Amino acid sequence: LVLLDSVERVARDTPPVENFESRFGNLAFRMFYDCVSEISPELHTSLPGLPSEAIEELSVCFSEAWGNRMRIDFGSGMELNFLCWLLCLEWLQVLRKTDHRAIIIRLFWRYINTMRILQSTYWLEPAGSHGVWGLDDCHSPPFLFGHKYTRPKAIHYPEMVVEYLKDYMYFTCIAFINSAPSLRWHSPMLNDISAMRLLPPFPPGMLKMYLAEVLNKLPL
């Protein structure tokens, strides 16, 4: 969490600049990215038990998790960098299987909230957006991790979303998406999922989409 604190501190110290060329992609993001890349190796030295020879590779993975410097965008591929970073930490025994619950609820969810800050601060454009034909332009795992703690139809009750958005990642994602006018129009796939009475522990449709649209993409 200390590493994520540092990332948010860099964002606070790197405010957006006036941008008249485009409604997406504030140029200050490149300064933010460069700063995070510069301090990343030093931040990793604070992780107990991390072999020094792994720091360079992990630092690149960590830096790429915040967006693309050239395009000033963010998508599920960058999010996957963070998941790979977590996986590498487990392989290196910095994190352990007994930490899985805390990794998702505390560490990964903190990453998502930090990314929300960056998205709204630097107007990061969705990378490879599917528009309405996707769960979310930028994030997928929060729906997989969070779906089992809610009933699908509950997302159609605004008062319920507001009441529980601070406690459930699924509701938080829905609330963020609902900044657009109507779930039915801007996220028809989520709207269709909500018609199910109950979701299985690992919804095959969500997993199939993540496999096809993220893990099986050529750049990865």
In a domain, 152, yes or no: yes
> Which pairs with CB-CB distance under 8 Å and at least 24 residues apart come from 89-96?
89/47, 89/50, 89/58, 92/49, 92/50, 92/51, 92/54, 93/49, 94/47, 94/48, 94/49, 94/50
pLDDT tens digit sequence for 61-110 = 999 999 999 999 888 888 899 999 999 999 999 999 999 989 988 999 89
Same-domain status, 54 and 152: no
Q: What is the pTM of this model?
A: 0.74
Same-domain status, 117 and 164: no
pLDDT band (50, 70, 90) for residue 25: confident
Average pLDDT, the chain: 80
Q: What is the number of structural domains in the chain?
A: 2
How many angstroms separate the Cα of 106 from the Cα of each of 109, 134, 172, 210?
6, 25, 14, 22
- Residue 80, domain extent: 2-126
pLDDT number for residue 133: 42
The yes-or-no verdict on residue 184 having pLDDT over 90 is no
Same-domain status, 14 and 121: yes
pLDDT tens digit sequence for 142-183 = 767 766 666 666 667 778 878 877 777 777 777 777 765 444
In a domain, 163, yes or no: yes
Q: Answer yes or no: are the C-beta atoms of 148 and 199 closer than 8 Å.
A: yes
In a domain, 131, yes or no: no
Which residue, 93, 126, 159, sits at the end of a domain?
126
| CATH number, domain containing residue 199 | 1.20.120.1150
